[in-house]
Amino acid sequence: MSDTRNKQRNTTTHPAHISRRDFIRVAGTAALGTLAAGCAPKQTPTPTQALTAAPTSSVKPKVAIGRAATYDRALIKSQMQAMMDGLGGLSDIIPSGGKVVIKTNLTGGNNFQAPAGFTPITSWVTHPEVVRAVGELARDAGAGQIYIVEAVYDAQSYPDWGYVEIANDLNATLIDLNQPAPYESFVNLPVGEGSFIYDKFMVNQILQDADTFISVAKMKCHYNAGVTLSMKNLVGMVPYMLYNANPSDWWRSALHGDDAGYRLPRIILDLNRARPIHLAVIDGVMTGEGGEAPRGSFKAVQPGALVAGKNALSTDAVSAAVMSFDPTADQPTPPFLRADNYLNLGNDLGLGTNKLEQIEVVGASIEDVRYEFGPAYTMSYKYQPNQPFAPRS
């Protein structure tokens, strides 16, 4: 990895209880040096392996569905409370006084303009009121420290989108995962036996120290991965400058490579084995269809749904069904137009089930909140009419 690529980006990692001005002023730097070795993929990508799945439990995983037409604070809190009650509470995953890390999804930062009549938090990034409700419930369950984390694309993302206020109210700490701060250096998280592409990932140490790891994602489609939900959200936990193929790339281009349809789904599984999710929460109250950010076939929509579960794979499967997709579909069936279905790969690895008949849905039913999403037809800013599927009008 080149010296240019090892330079630390001037972004912010900061505790709660700071002002917006202080947030923008504070910057952290780190000499990555020899740490960069930990971000290298295996020399030869492992092909699809016939791994033995874990024994199937006779108890179906539970996934809860809630309904919310708006982000009214009281409404989101009451729905999240009911959903957590339906899952059996949080005491089994949050130890008393434990460190709870909430990974949000702030894709793209301010690089995109929100669709007319919408804002970033009502169209493509996780709404802070959902994170607030999760944080309050975690605190009520006995969490000692709460951290809200994301590898933010710019220093404005946290303050502009309400996360500084949320962190202050929760007495939580905001961390930019692109930096090692508040630790001195990054650490390596091993994937374990049978990894696909990466043996380990270099990350902020808070991801290693977490007693409870919660992924709070936006319900969206993805150009390469098909859908981006709680498991795909973990792509944003690695520092972008360590996982870009070229120093000038502002995204994690090395995770996509020349064959993103093969590579990215398997890296999603590697990430989830390196940092397992204890609670998955999907914000589908207001979001977008047709892609993960306002470009190409992206269109803002309002499904009015919340989904949560303690098995991330099953939670993503139910979320895909809420989006009117078959979570067991194979490429090139929508939404998996260009890539292998990472939900199928996860099922084969024994990380959970993506078969709806093997999942117990509590709260609202899938049909109660089902909304027909259009898949990600294109990432370009102008729709290409020769694409194999036409976007919904």
Task: Look at residue 45 and tell me if it is in a domain.
Answer: no
Q: What is the distance, to the nearest Å, from the Cα of residue 24 to the centroid of all Cα atoms in its chain?
A: 24
Task: Look at residue 235 and tell me if it is in a domain.
Answer: yes
pLDDT of residue 57: 54
Q: How many other C-beta atoms are found inside a 10 Å radius of the C-beta of residue 273?
A: 20
Task: Look at residue 36 and tell me if it is in a domain.
Answer: no
Task: Look at residue 294 and tell me if it is in a domain.
Answer: yes
Task: Look at residue 123 and tell me if it is in a domain.
Answer: yes
Q: Which domain holds residue 97?
A: 69-369
Q: What is the chain's pLDDT, residue by residue, as a tens digit (393 residues)? A: 333 323 333 333 333 333 333 333 333 333 333 344 345 555 433 333 333 334 445 689 999 999 999 999 999 999 999 999 999 999 999 999 999 999 999 988 888 888 899 999 999 999 999 999 999 999 999 999 999 999 998 889 999 999 999 999 999 999 999 999 999 999 999 999 999 999 999 999 999 999 999 999 999 999 999 999 999 999 999 998 899 888 877 778 888 878 889 999 999 999 999 999 999 999 999 999 998 888 889 999 999 999 999 999 999 999 999 999 999 999 999 999 999 999 999 999 999 999 999 999 999 999 999 999 999 988 764 333 333 333 333
Q: Based on the number of CB atoms within 10 Å of its own CB, is 357 exposed (0-12), middle (13-18) or buried (19 or more)?
A: exposed
Q: Based on the number of CB atoms within 10 Å of its own CB, is 53 exposed (0-12), middle (13-18) or buried (19 or more)?
A: exposed
Beta pairing partners, 281: 216, 308
Task: Look at residue 53 and tell me if it is in a domain.
Answer: no
Question: Residue 254: CB partners within 8 Å, gap ≥ 6?
Answer: 41, 243, 244, 245
Answer yes or no: pTM beyond 0.75.
Answer: yes
Where residue 260 sits, what CATH number does that domain have?
3.40.50
Residue 190 DSSP SS3: strand
Task: Look at residue 386 and tell me if it is in a domain.
Answer: no
Given a contact cutoff of 8 angstroms between Cβ atoms, the answer to whether 202 and 38 are in contact is yes
Q: Which of 242, 307, 237, 245 is nearest to 272 (CA)?
A: 237
Interatomic CA distance for residues 73 and 129, integer angstroms: 6
Q: Which of 269, 291, 289, 247 is nearest to 107 (CA)?
A: 291
Task: Look at residue 22 and tell me if it is in a domain.
Answer: no
The number of distinct structural domains making up the chain is 1
